[in-house]
Structure 1
Amino acid sequence: MESFSSLECFITSAEVGSFAEAARRLSITPAAVGKNVAQLESRLGVRLFQRSTRKLTLTEAGQRFLGEVSESFRSIQYAVANLASSEGQPAGVLRVSMGIVFGRLYVLPLLGEFLRRYPAIVPDWHFDNRQVDLIGQGFDAAIGGGFDLPPGVVARKLAPAHRVLVAAPEYLQRHAPIQMPEQLPQHDGILIRSPQTGRVRSWPLTSRNQEQRPLHLRQAMTMSDSDAACAAAEQGLGIALVSMPFAVPYLASKRLCRVLPDWYVDDGSVSVYYAERKLLPGKTRAFIDYLLACFEAQGLAKQFDAMAGA
C-alpha cells in the first residue's frame, strides 16, 4: 500500500508540472516532494516523470498511473476533510474568490451566520475582479459572472447578470427625454473597460419584448469597474452601462435613475463556480448550499433582474 503523502506529492506534481510548485501548495520543501516521488517510483519499479532542468513531464506509465489513482485519491482526501472536526461537521480552510464590491455588498454580510453554523470552517476569501484559475490556484469556489467554464468546473446560477443604463436625475433634467436607443449617441457615455482585455466591449441592447438594438454612446470616459461608473454617473457626468448588483443601491436611494427602463443588456448569469467532483468537501458543499439559500431568501435574483421592477 502506497503512503498517502507519496501519492499526494505525485498527483500534485503531475497537476502543476513542478516539484517546487507542488511543494508550495503542500507546504513542504521541494526536496521532500522529490524524495516522496522517488520512493513511490522505487516501490512501483517504474519511472513516473521525465525530469529536466526546465520541465517535469509524465512518462507513459506515469500518465496511466495518474488516471487510475487520482479520482480515488481525491475521494479519500475529501472524505477525510469532511470528518476533520470532532463532531463530524464541515471543517477546514475555505478559499473563495469573488469580485471586490459584489463580495462586500452581497456575500460578506452572510459570513457571520455562516460561521455560527459552521464554526470549524476558516474563511480565506480573496476579493479580486479578475477571473481566477479555480483548480490551478487551489480555490474551493469562485463567485462571478461571464466566466469561461474550463474543463472540470461547474456553475450554479445565483441570479441573472443584467446590465442597465443609468444616469443622475440632474443629468436627465438637462437633456430632452430619452425614449429610444437611437437617441443614445447624442449623450456622454461612461463606458466600462474590461480589466482582463483592456477593451471597451460593444453590447447589444435587448428590449422587454426581446427586440435587439445596437448600443452606442459618445465615449466621454471609461472605467474598469461598475461601482466606479455609478459614482461617476452620480456626479451628472453622463450615462453609464452598469451591472445590476452595483446599480441596485444607487437606484434604491434615487441617486441614479434608469435610462430606457424597458431595455437592458443580458450578460448571462452570476454564478458560484466549483470543481466538478463526485464527492465535494463538506466545507465547500456547506458554503454553496448556504449561499444559494441566502440568495433565494433575500430575493436577490429578482433584484438583479432588469425587467422585474421595470
Structure 2
Amino acid sequence: METLANLESFVRSAETGSFSSAARRLALTPAAVSRNVAQLERNLGIRLFQRSTRGLTLSEAGERFLQTVQGSLDSIQGAIADITVNAGQPAGVLKLSAAPGFGMDYLLPLMPAFLERYPAVTPDWYFDNRPLDLIAGGFDAAIGGGFDLPPGMVARELGRMHLIAVASPEFMRGKRRPKDPAGLAELAGIVMRSPLSGRVRTYVMRNGAGAEMAVVQKPVMTVSGPDAIFPATLLGLGVGMVAVPHARPHLESGTLERLLPDWYSDIGPISLYFTSQKLLPAKTRAFVDFVTEAFRAQKLAQVLSVHGRR
C-alpha cells in the first residue's frame, strides 16, 4: 500500500514540473521528494517521469496514473484539511504578498483586528509590484492583479481598479484641457515602465457611452512603479494616470484636478489568490474569510472604482 507522502510527492511534482518546486510546496527538501517518487516507481514497477536537465516530463504511464490518483489525493487531503480547520485554532506564519501601495493602504489597516481575532497567526508580508510564482515562492496567499493562475490556485475577485488622468492646478495653469485621451499627448506625462518587460506601460480609457481610446502620453518622467506616479503628479511634474482611491481625497481638496472627467481606465480585477479551498490550512482560510468580509463590510470595492464613493 503506497504512503500518502509518496503519492503527494508524485502529484505535486507532476503539477509543478520539478522536484524543487514540489518540495517548496510540500515543505520538504528536493532530495526527499525525489526519494519518495523513486520509491513509488520501484513499488509500482513503472517509470512515472522522464528526467532530464530541463526538468521532468510525465511518461505515458505517469500520465495515466496522475489522472487516476490526482482527484482521490485532493479528496483525502481535503478531508484532512477540513478536520484541521474545524478542530484547530489558526496558527503559524502566514506568508503573504501584495503590491506596496495597495497593501499598505488597504491591508495593513485590517491587521489589528485580524491579529486580535487570531493572535497565534504571524503575518509575513512581502510588498512587491512584480507578479510572483506563488507556489514556488511558498506563499499562502497574495492580493493584487496580473498573477498567473497555476494548477492548484484559485482567485477570488475583491474589486476592480480604475485609473483616471489627473494633474495639479499649478501644472494645468494656462494649458488647454484635452478633449479625449489622445489629447493627453499635448501635455507632459509621468509614465511607468513595466518591471517585467522594461517597456512603458500603455492604457486604454473608456467613457460612459462605452467608447474606448488609447492613452497617448508625452513622457517628462519615467518611473518603475505606480507608487511614484501619484506623488510626482502632486508635485506638478505632469499628468499622471492615478488610481481612483489615491486621487479622490486630493480631487476633493483641490490639490489635484481630473482631466477627461468622463473617461477612465479599468486595469482589471484586484483578487485574493490562494490554494484550492479544499486544501487550505486554518490560518489561510481565516485570512481569506477575514479579508473578503472586510472588503464587503467596508465597501472597499466601490472605493477602487469611478463608480464608488464621490
Normalised-by-shorter TM-score class: 0.7 to 0.9
* 1:1-310 matches, cutoff 5 A: 1-52=1-52, 55-84=55-84, 87-149=87-149, 153-178=153-178, 180-181=180-181, 183-248=183-248, 250-251=250-251, 254-278=254-278, 280-309=280-309
Contact 1:167 1:233 in 2 (8 A): yes
Contact 2:81 2:278 in 1 (8 A): no
SS in 2 for 1:302: helix
Alpha-carbon offset, residue 165 of structure 1: 0.9
Task: Return the letter of the residue paired with 1:49.
Answer: F
Provide the C-alpha distance between the structure 1 equivalents of 2:207 and 2:103, rounded to a whole number of angstroms.
Answer: 29
SS in 2 for 1:142: strand
Contact 1:191 1:240 in 2 (8 A): yes
Task: Return the letter of the residue paired with 2:204.
Answer: P
Task: Return the letter of the residue paired with 2:265.
Answer: V
Contact 2:77 2:278 in 1 (8 A): no
Provide the C-alpha distance between the structure 2 equivalents of 1:179 and 1:21, rounded to a whole number of angstroms.
Answer: 51
Contact 2:81 2:280 in 1 (8 A): no
SS in 2 for 1:240: strand
Contact 1:49 1:62 in 2 (8 A): yes
Contact 2:97 2:143 in 1 (8 A): yes
Task: Return the letter of the residue paired with 2:165.
Answer: L
* Structure 2 portions without partners, runs of 5+: none
* Structure 1 portions without partners, runs of 5+: none
Provide the C-alpha distance between the structure 2 equivalents of 1:14 and 1:212, rounded to a whole number of angstroms.
Answer: 43
Alpha-carbon offset, residue 47 of structure 1: 2.6
SS in 2 for 1:66: helix
SS in 2 for 1:221: strand
Alpha-carbon offset, residue 23 of structure 1: 4.1
Task: Return the letter of the residue paired with 2:117.
Answer: R
SS in 2 for 1:14: helix
Distance 1:212 1:8, change over 3 A: closer
Alpha-carbon offset, residue 241 of structure 1: 0.7
Task: Return the letter of the residue paired with 2:121.
Answer: I
SS in 1 for 2:191: strand
Provide the C-alpha distance between the structure 2 equivalents of 1:124 and 1:175, rounded to a whole number of angstroms.
Answer: 47
Alpha-carbon offset, residue 199 of structure 1: 1.8
Distance 1:224 1:306, change over 3 A: farther
Aligned length: 310
Task: Return the letter of the residue paired with 2:163.
Answer: R
Provide the C-alpha distance between the structure 1 equivalents of 2:182 and 2:55, rounded to a whole number of angstroms.
Answer: 56
Alpha-carbon offset, residue 107 of structure 1: 0.8
Provide the C-alpha distance between the structure 2 equivalents of 1:130 and 1:182, rounded to a whole number of angstroms.
Answer: 28
SS in 2 for 1:43: helix
Distance 1:201 1:86, change over 3 A: closer
Provide the C-alpha distance between the structure 1 equivalents of 2:291 and 2:196, rounded to a whole number of angstroms.
Answer: 26
Q: What whole-Å deviation, never above 9, does each CA across 1:67-97 have from its counterpart, x for those lacking one? A: 2223332343344345448952344443322
Contact 1:16 1:22 in 2 (8 A): yes
Provide the C-alpha distance between the structure 1 equivalents of 2:273 and 2:84, rounded to a whole number of angstroms.
Answer: 23
Contact 1:192 1:241 in 2 (8 A): no
Contact 2:93 2:124 in 1 (8 A): yes
Contact 1:162 1:305 in 2 (8 A): yes
Provide the C-alpha distance between the structure 2 equivalents of 1:220 and 1:108, rounded to a whole number of angstroms.
Answer: 33
SS in 2 for 1:123: strand
Contact 2:233 2:239 in 1 (8 A): yes
Q: What whole-Å deviation, never above 9, does each CA across 1:137-177 have from its counterpart, x for those lacking one? A: 44333211344555654332212211111112321335345
Contact 1:207 1:262 in 2 (8 A): yes
Distance 1:305 1:20, change over 3 A: closer
With structure 1 as the length reference, what TM-score do the two structures score? 0.85
- Percent same amino acid at aligned positions? 51
Contact 1:81 1:91 in 2 (8 A): no
